[in-house]
Amino acid sequence: MSDPRLHYRAPLLRTPFHPRIAEANVLNQWGAWAGYTTALALQDEEMEYTAIRNGASLYDLCPMVKYRIMGPQAAEYLGRLTLRDVVRQPVGTVRYTAWCDDAGKVLDDGTLFRLAEAEFMLCCQERHLPWLLDAASGFDVAIAEITEAVAALSLQGPCSASVLRAAGLDVSALKPFAVTRQEFAGTTLTLSRTGFTGDLGYELWLAPEAALPLWDGLMAAGAPWGIRPIGSNALNLARIEAGFIIANADFVPAEQALREDRPRSPFEIGLDWMIDWQKGHFNGRRALLAERDGQTSRWALVALDIEGNVPAEGALLYHGKTREVGHITAAAWSPATKRNVALASLRRPWDRTAADDLWAEVYALRELHYVKLMLRARITERPFFAPARRRATPPEDF
């Protein structure tokens, strides 16, 4: 198309949905995500959040990094790469997963789609092709990055199933974490009941050429339910309520960490439930086994309920107001639960012993003047918000 040497003239790429999003982005708030220009908020952040929780929302997922893994040993390979058992993952399902380096520190988390017996798609936050290729030594697999070849759109909200039905896509039988293929306007869509909101929702994967017709079709079909394009800020609020973590927000991927104490093991970010110890060797197993048996985990991911209504973003956590025991990685006032919630990385054993005397040091900016608040924090259950509708099959008709 253009001379690749001139790439610096457009330091951020545009996604296939960009024309529509640019039109809708009346606030003109943009942010960079994995090399793409993406909207932070389009018209009204609160209304966008409300669309996620009360209607239907459209979010451009194209910058999500995607890999296709194919071949007769793809399942074995992915079992060796990631923490979970992949050989027994049924075709047509999606699994939330994570993978580690040799030291058992998390490189990234993501979703693994089994599209066929020998075809998978792995979606994640960061780029890992060299690692994926090196891990494939000895396996009959072909691995390709397909981030640019696949456009992705997230339709989330209690009315999302109704919107799809109105657009001619029947998802009534699609269970959570299931994936299917359907025809839409002459192209084949991959449709999964997945999302990053903790609500009823779907993700649609398609060829970039089909992106705009899909967008237009869903916007038209969704009009009666108040469908609305959303930006990353509204999604971030929803994901905090859902208790989901993000690489480079709630943990530093081990490959990027420079400081010795920054990488986190699955035990340290609440992902240890994924580990399948029975499936044979997987990357990091020896280190994780030693960590499990030696009880040497140093951190714990906890959900916090913080007094008041000032979001405690980035706050340091103290035991007895004096001893620093951790820090908050994500925080928000949760409209759905009417609670001041946070996710935090807490030094062990304070996740158990400091429960009654944990404090967040919050600097609240009030008219150009920071006010230091010591707010009581209580360890609570994750997720903060988990409506039954996210699981109901067939989905309720809103």
Partner 1 sequence: MPSSDAIVIGGGPNGLAAAARLAASGRRVTLCEAGAVAGGGAVTAEFAPGYRVSGLAHLLGHLDARVIAGMELERHGLAFAATGLATTAVSATGDHLRLEGAAGARLTGRIAPEDVLAWDRLRSRLMAFAAALAPMRAMAPPRLARGAANEMLRLARVGLGLRRLGRDEFREFLRMILINVADVAEDELSDDRLGGLLAFDATLGAWLGPRSPNSLILYLDRLAGGMAGQQAALALPKGGMGTVAAAMARGAEAKGVVLRTGARVARILVEDGRALGVALADGEEIRADLVVSAIGPKATLAGLVGPRHLDTGFLRQTAAIRARGGAAKLHLALTGLPDFRGADPKTRLVIAPSVNAVEAAFNPVKYGEVPDRPVMEAILPSAHEDGFAPGGHHVLSAIVQFAPHAPKDGADQARALMLERSLAVLEDHAPGLGALIAHAEMLMPQDIAARHGMVGGAWHHADLAVEQMLFLRPFAAVAQYRTPVAGLWLGGAGCHPGGHVSGAAGWNAAGAILAEGGR
Interface positions with partner 1 (CB under 8 A): 80-81, 101-102, 131, 134-135, 137-139, 280-281, 283-286, 289
CB 94 within 8 A of CB 112: yes
Q: Measured from the CB atom, is 80 or 319 closer to partner 1?
A: 80
What's the min distance (Å) between Cβ of 139 and partner 1? 8
How far, in Å, CA of 14 to CA of 92, rounded?
Answer: 30
CB of 129 to partner 1, least distance (A): 13
Least distance to partner 1, CB of residue 135, Å? 4
Nearer to partner 1, 37 or 97 (CB): 97
Q: Nearest distance from residue 170's CB to partner 1, in Å?
A: 42
Beta bridge partners of 69: 120, 143
**Of 72 and 138, which CB lies nearer to partner 1 in the complex structure?**
138
Q: How far is the CB of 106 from partner 1 (least distance, A)?
A: 14
Shortest distance, position 364 Cβ to partner 1, whole Å: 41
Which residue number, 134 or 367, has a Cβ lying nearer to partner 1?
Answer: 134
Q: Which is nearer to partner 1, 3 or 134 (CB)?
A: 134
Distance between CA atoms of 113 and 363, rounded to whole angstroms?
42
Burial of 344 (0-12, 13-18, 19+ CB in 10 A): buried
**Cα 45 from Cα 231, distance rounded (Å):** 8
Q: In whole angstroms, how close is the CB of 78 to partner 1 at the nearest point?
A: 13
Which residue number, 80 or 390, has a Cβ lying nearer to partner 1?
80
Question: What distance in Å separates the CA atoms of residue 335 and residue 54, rounded to the nearest whole number?
Answer: 12
- Distance in Å, CB of 131 to partner 1, minimum: 6
When the beta carbons of 286 and 391 are compared against partner 1, the nearer one is 286
Structural contact between residues 325 and 358, judged by C-beta atoms closer than 8 angstroms: yes
Report the residue number, 32 or 290, with the smaller CB distance to partner 1: 290
Q: How far apart are CB 103 and partner 1 at their closest, in Å?
A: 8
Q: Which is nearer to partner 1, 175 or 262 (CB)?
A: 262
Cβ proximity to partner 1, 281 vs 372, nearer residue: 281
- Which of 378, 310, 373 is closest to 344 using CA atoms? 378
* Closest separation in Å from C-beta 251 to partner 1: 19
Closest CA to 210 of 182, 181, 188: 188
